[in-house]
Amino acid sequence: MESRVSDCAARHARGFNCAQAIACTYADLVGADEKTMFAATEGLGLGMGGMQGTCGALSGACVICGLANSCADLEAPTSKAATYKVSRELVRRFTEVSGATRCADLKGVETGQVLCSCPQCIENAARILEDVVFVDAD
Residue ranges per domain, the chain?
A: 5-132
1: confidence class by pLDDT, cuts 50, 70, 90: confident
Q: What's the chain's average pLDDT?
A: 96
pLDDT over threshold 70, residue 137 = no
Planar angle of CA 77, 83, 87, nearest 5 degrees: 150
CA max distance for the chain: 48
Residue 32 has a pLDDT of 97
Distance CA 33, CA 135 (A): 21
Query: Which helix (H) or strand (E) segment is 15 a member of?
Result: none
Contact between 51 and 60 (Cβ < 8 Å): no
Q: Which residues contact 76 (CB under 8 A, 6 or more apart)?
A: none
- With a CB cutoff of 8 Å and minimum separation 6, the contacts of 88 are none
54 forms beta bridges with: 102
* 62 pLDDT more than 90: yes
- Cβ neighbour number for residue 50 with a 10 Å cutoff: 12
> Looking at the predicted structure, is the pLDDT value of residue 21 above 70?
yes
